Amino acid sequence: MPEILLKSKSLGKILSWEKKESLILYGENENLRIYVLWDKVLRFYFSKNREWKHASFVVKEISPSKDFSVEEKEEIILRTKMLRVTIDKNSGKISIYNKDGDLILSDYQDCGYRIFKNRVYSYKEIKEEKAFLGFGERTGNLNKKGKRLTNWNTDNPHHYTNIDSLYQSHPFFLAWNPKKSYGIFLDNTFRTYFDMGRESEKYYYFYAEDGELDYYFFYGPSPKEVLELYTELTGRYYLPPLWALGYQQSRWSYATEEEVRILAKTFREKTIPCDVIYLDIDYMEDFKVFTINNKRFPNFQRMIEDLSLKGFKIIPIIDPGVKVDLNYDLYKEGIEKDLFCKKSNGKIYTGYVWPGKCVFPDFIRKEVREWWEEKQKEMIKLGISGFWNDMNEPSSMSHIEYLLMRLLFYHLHFKEPPFIPQVPWNKEKKPKEFYKKTLSSDVLHGDKREFTHHEIHNVYGLLMVEACFEGWKKAKPNLRPLIITRAGFSGIQKFSAVWTGDNKSTWEHLYMSLPMLQNLSLSGIPFVGADVGGFWKDCNSELFIRWMELGTFYPYFRNHSAMNTKNQEPWSFGENVEKIVRNYINLRYKLLPYIYSLFWEAKEKGIPPLRSLIMEFPEDPEGIIHEDEFLLGPNLLVAPIYREGERKRRVYLPKGDWYDFWTGEKLTGPNIFEVSAPLEIIPVFVKGGSIIPLWELQNYVGEKEQENLELRVYDGEGEFIFYEDDGFSWNYERGEYNLLKFSLSKEREGYILSIEYLHNGYKSPRKRFRIVTLKGKIIEVEEQKAEKIYLSP
Ligand code: MIG
């Protein structure tokens, strides 16, 4: 028995119960409410000192279902249409069964609820869970079974496999089992810990440093169903503007107007497609947010206008730290209106970020968010297309650290921050973090300063990004933005895309992005990507090629690098590299209608575009082992090269027929194949029965009316739901979109391709479909005639 349990308090014997909106169980020590949200979603909300005080930052009010029954026998039994929950009257032990009577989850002994000091714990038996996945943004392997994880948003610039917390916190996991997966979301924003069988193989547990034990249980049985339910609860992403799926170029920093203009010109001259250019901190005056450095960018607005004519969108970075400077309006106003975070002694908290001494807006307050929204408006007026939210963990350095960073990067031209070894655990088993870099723990938040920083820390970024999104909608009511963020918490997917922060230009980091993006996706976030080419350190040509090949299949495809490192624009490594890389960016642009349709699925159901094998093949026990490959949507299996010098690799193909994307060669799974991968080839396989919609090449989204939609069909039976709309406005919310079902079925020796409109609300520029078979046969059909097309062998 874990030591802590000897000292802690449990629910105690169940003395009585009543069925109201929830099932309320009155225990000897504490009480529990079990809510039935939907047939497969339960909420377990435990009292603390007999009180229920939790107000969620993430879950909106949902009126729980009353469609459940309770009876008392040996045990207390709660039944929904899909689940049976039993509560042992002596120990309070809870077990959850599915309709077939299979035990899905049960408490470990009487430890389903424990309180020790302020902390709240829950222990569960480890049964048939083969993997624990999700947990947001994580280094290390895909499967977190046997691992211990902490949720505390941390700006740690060194992402080694053994580091724990990063920029985001997602106290959510998916417990995968080939037959019955489930999920748990711990709705608690304090620092939380998950020990997934590291301490013992018999149980896993999670706990929060403070606050309540309030968690949700989602039953699948498939991983997709779990994600659908989890995102039903915590929110789903909107459709990104279509151009946001194009290629994006960034660097810390493209620091002058001239540099940006030359960059844009080079893309067009070299006919390398690109849609977005980012402006990092040096576009600002003294790093003051919402200012523009007029020396570096004398005609900022004009530059944006000119570039937009060439199809470029500009996205500036925004940091939450506001420079302490009596001549700076934002600072003065914030002080006058009392909008910044204060410490318990009533003094405004100050810390150091790029501008020097800074104060931090208290985003938990509505008034503060609305003020930020107003400030954004001024920037939006200049013609930008979204925001890049950085440093919002929030990251805040000491004076010394700050001086050192300025010196290292801006004067000594370091290519990465110094590595300071971390001692992973101290005596109290708390992670000892060098990169603490956040507000001091005595900061209080809220209108009445009723929240400690411990409670708000993990949602600070979420709240900033909420203001960013809501502000955008007010300023540009009918234009979708591209918002990206570094920090976040569960629910961040409602507002923003997520990039994984400061990785390095190394092979390890290219590899790391594979499990990392899979787990982020499994946490309900569809729009994810890592800095392609790597952020810190110098990239080299081979690594660059391999990473651009891989980035082509990231949902979010942005090349970004740190200051002082070798440039990594597509042409930075010579002509041969440029040629290969251009082909991949071209491929990305061809794939846009496929990827956009996947985002529709994410919006509708919360199913992310980037998928672990277990998402599409939940019953295949092999799938979980192969974290070095992934699926983009249901049809494309991507198996990147992640070692220097490697020109072939082993690929696991799950059950069914697969076709080599490049050669059309057929391979049949389940099996492991050794496939060749010369420098210019990333192994990609297409599932038999796929219909992949492809666009014609263009330099940026919207450059050309897409009159022809290529449909590449791969022998077999299957269907694909194709989505289209104008790609930039919110009109789709009013029905202005088309949904087409493409399906492929066997007919005599060949196949029938049917095209069926499921929804017809948008006037598409399309004139015809160009069907391309595996053998390279091309059949053109006019749009209006398209219904059933016979494809002879
Ligand atoms: O302390 O704005 O992750 O993408 O280029 C570094 C400069 C601050 C961290 C971001 C990175 C960005 C950099 N920022």
The atom number, within ligand 1, closest to the CA of 253 reads 5
Q: Is 252 in the pocket of ligand 1 (CB under 6 A)?
A: yes
What pLDDT score does 426 carry?
47
The Å distance, Cα 533 to ligand 1 centre, comes to 15
Q: Residue 628 and residue 651: Cα distance in Å, rounded?
A: 9
The Å distance, Cα 392 to ligand 1 centre, comes to 11
- Name the 3-class secondary structure at 320: coil
What pLDDT score does 162 carry?
81
Q: What is the pLDDT of residues 164-223, one digit of tens each?
A: 999 999 999 999 999 999 999 999 999 999 999 999 999 999 999 999 999 999 999 999
The atom number, within ligand 1, closest to the CA of 281 reads 2
CA distances from 257 to 232, 271, 571 (A): 43, 21, 20
Q: What is the pLDDT of residues 85-100, one digit of tens each?
A: 999 999 999 999 999 9
The pLDDT > 70 percentage for the chain reads 98
Q: Is 157 in the pocket of ligand 1 (CB under 6 A)?
A: no
The pTM assigned to this predicted structure is 0.97
The Å distance, Cα 319 to ligand 1 centre, comes to 10
Q: Is the pLDDT of residue 422 over 90?
A: no
Task: Out of 137, 277, 278, 280, give the residue to mutate to test ligand 1, the one with the largest number of ligand atoms within 8 Å of its CB.
Answer: 280
Q: What is the pLDDT of residues 680-730, one digit of tens each?
A: 999 999 999 999 999 999 999 999 999 999 999 999 999 999 999 999 999
Q: Is 501 in the pocket of ligand 1 (CB under 6 A)?
A: yes
661, exposed or middle or buried, with CB in 10 Å at 0-12, 13-18, 19+? Answer: buried
CB-CB contact of 366 with 456 (8 Å): no
Q: Is the pLDDT of residue 522 over 60?
A: yes
Q: In degrees to the nearest 10, what's the CA dihedral of 123, 94, 231, 454?
A: -40
- Name the 3-class secondary structure at 513: helix
Q: What is the pLDDT of residues 446-487, one digit of tens each?
A: 999 999 999 999 999 999 999 999 999 999 999 999 999 999
Q: Is the pLDDT of residue 59 over 70?
A: yes
Q: Which residues pair with 445 in a beta bridge?
A: 451
- In sequence order, which residues have a C-beta less than 8 Å from that of residue 575 and are 6 or more positions away? none
Catalytic-residue membership of 393: yes
What pLDDT score does 533 carry?
98
What pLDDT score does 437 carry?
80
Q: Is the pLDDT of residue 562 over 70?
A: yes
- Name the 3-class secondary structure at 344: coil
Q: Helices marked H in 273-346 — which ranges?
A: 300-309, 329-336
Q: Which residue has the CA at smallest separation from atom 12 of ligand 1? A: 252
Task: Out of 156, 252, 278, give the residue to mutate to test ligand 1, the one with the largest number of ligand atoms within 8 Å of its CB.
Answer: 252
Q: Is the pLDDT of residue 746 over 90?
A: yes
Task: Out of 317, 406, 559, give the residue to mutate to test ligand 1, the one with the largest number of ligand atoms within 8 Å of its CB.
Answer: 317
Q: Is the pLDDT of residue 2 over 80?
A: no
Give residue 432's pLDDT band: very low, low, confident or very high (50, 70, 90): low
Give the pLDDT mean for 260-272: 98
Q: Is the pLDDT of residue 132 over 80?
A: yes
Q: Helices marked H in 299-365 — which ranges?
A: 300-309, 329-336
Q: Is 280 in the pocket of ligand 1 (CB under 6 A)?
A: yes
The Å distance, Cα 666 to ligand 1 centre, comes to 44
Q: Is 281 in the pocket of ligand 1 (CB under 6 A)?
A: yes
Catalytic residue among 195, 275, 455, 502: 502
Cis peptide before 526 (omega within 30 of 0): no
CB-CB contact of 133 with 145 (8 Å): no
Cis peptide before 597 (omega within 30 of 0): no
What pLDDT score does 5 carry?
76
Q: How many residues does the chain have?
A: 793
What pLDDT score does 331 carry?
98
Q: Residue 161 and residue 736: Cα distance in Å, rounded?
A: 45
Q: Which residue has the CA at smallest separation from atom 3 of ligand 1? A: 501
Give residue 433's pLDDT band: very low, low, confident or very high (50, 70, 90): low
Judging by DSSP bridges, how do beta strands 482-485 and 351-353 pair with one another? unpaired
Q: What is the pLDDT of residues 219-236, one digit of tens each?
A: 999 999 999 999 999 999
The Å distance, Cα 378 to ligand 1 centre, comes to 23
Question: Per mean pLDDT, which range of 59-73, 74-88, 672-686 is the poorest?
Answer: 59-73
Q: Is 502 in the pocket of ligand 1 (CB under 6 A)?
A: yes
The amino acid at residue 753 is L
Q: Is 390 in the pocket of ligand 1 (CB under 6 A)?
A: yes
Catalytic-residue membership of 447: no
Task: Out of 167, 319, 391, give the residue to mutate to test ligand 1, the one with the largest number of ligand atoms within 8 Å of its CB.
Answer: 391
Q: Residue 398 and residue 436: Cα distance in Å, rounded?
A: 10
Q: Is 486 in the pocket of ligand 1 (CB under 6 A)?
A: yes
Q: Is the pLDDT of residue 327 over 90?
A: yes
Q: What is the pLDDT of residues 593-626, one digit of tens each?
A: 999 999 999 999 999 999 999 999 999 999 999 9
